[in-house]
Structure 1
Amino acid sequence: MDSFEGKVAVITGAASGIGLGMAQAFAEAGIRVVLSDVEIEALDAAAAALRASGADVHTVVADVSDAEQVQALAHASLQRYGGIDILCNNAGVGAGTMPSWHSTLDDWQWVLGVNLMGVVHGIRSFMPFLLKQRTPAHIVNTASMAGLSAGGNPVYGASKAAVVSLSESLYIELQRNRSNVSVSLLCPGFVATRILSAERNRPSSLPEASPEPASPLAAAMRQWFNEQVEQGLNPLDVGRQVLAAIREQRFYVFTHPEWLSHVEHRLHNLLQGRNPSASPLPGMEEALRRVL
């Protein structure tokens, strides 16, 4: 895309965090944005703030784990603007804990339903329209560095690893078909979002949450992760990185390039046939050493 002025972007999980950061960055570039989320009040507040800055914004409440609601989001977006240029499958939640066998089936169903099936539903619902338009279009799928490394939260990591695989396959499929649609994979590190309080949006149909480990080590881990997220990258900076990747038609978007050493560690194990081993994030070992 040589120019963004007047383009239309649909963003899920857009009421806060990375989704809102993308919306802000897109609006700065003159893109019209459709914000979608399950948090109605937060969605309305985000839209009001963007409109106050002069942005053209439309909102649609949708649960991405529900295929029919995502299909309705696609139709509502087309009805509003007549076309779609950018789709950001961004909505995500975190649940579950370690060890993995403590995670409930409700945890698995909720996290996979949003993080993985939300992307699947977005692709299935929007792709026919994007291909039919025959104009340049772009899909951004939000994964995580957790989907490229080992030793993290098993439920969340599994969902994001699946998004990585799906997105890489989708990119290759579209390239083989010389499609007008391109793809980017967003793999953020710590970003200042509300991901650690995702339980606020947990559906009543999946109420059984896994118990929090009560050990001093687990408590230290939780505190450390909370601190890292609170001090994380500004979501607007992430949005601007995504915008640059769309402009350059670049697939991988790494918000924290210094984390690639953890990906390298995993790949070395794989290529050399070694058993899996964790590669602690910077600062983690020091934080945990206090309780060991």
Structure 2
Amino acid sequence: MKSKGKGLISEENEEVPVILLRKLTKNETILSLEFIKDDSHLISGNISGVLDIWDLEIMRCSSSINMKFDSPIIKTIYDEKKEIIYVQNRKGEIYLVDNTENFKKLDLNGIYYSLAKMIILPTRESIIFPRENDLLLKNINNSKHDDIQFNYPTEKSDKLIEVESLNDHSVLLGFESGNVVIWDLRKPDSHVYMNNVTQNSPILSMKRSFNRIWISTFDSKLRVFNRNCFDHPIKEIDSLNVVDKISIRSDSLITVTSNTLNTNMDIFENKSLNYIKTFKFHSTEVSSIQFSNSSNLFAASSNTISIWDLLS
């Protein structure tokens, strides 16, 4: 489904979604969203471990897969070339789902997983899988490439919360203590940078918008940093609620932030870092938010899914 230029951000009907998705029966809280196939489809994962694939042209669930691992789905990554979906549950386990809806567990040579979500690098050639004490970099296009392991330089009690790519060859790690670590993938034996950037407040979410990084923390602050310097934030924004989710539009022009228990979502302009406006979700909570990777489409979920076209 291509962006059709209606919906937000305009003065009229600004809270009316372009699409509203729900099942006829057993709608459960959705924790993972991903637009795929040029926005013609959407993948969602719920708290019961059910993976749903939605056809956005007909606005219906076209496929539903019960993963049967008794754990919520928190992240999916779609490999378009191989037509494989990588599925991560809350235990940190990774499963592969093929185009015939068969699935199997991916062996990551470790049993101690992290709750941080896996990410695919911008080149879309490698996926980083967080584990309790290290990251595992796996090339998904060439099995002959050796996996690369990076051990965390922080205390063992300091839990990894988020991983975000800075560019094609480096990633940012955010920890419960407020520490951030930069890892150059070309030099896996040591980290490039480490600093506590949040005055010891736990990091909840991190997202990159071109040359800036947005970090939300438990002290109800949003801190925006230059991608190349984390010594001091460019701007600190006080939020009325603790922000636990951040999503950036594909062109990096706007950022949306939300809190699970609050139905208001705030929109910021990334160039000026100014607040634009707040729009209200249709439900009682916001369990997941996600921009498309290629358009203005933006999805938010509870036990149903709303999709807006967020214009400039």
TM value normalised by structure 2 = 0.27
- TM (norm. structure 1) is 0.28
Which structure is higher in RCO with an 8 Å CA cutoff and minimum separation 6?
1
Name the one with the larger helix percent. Answer: 1
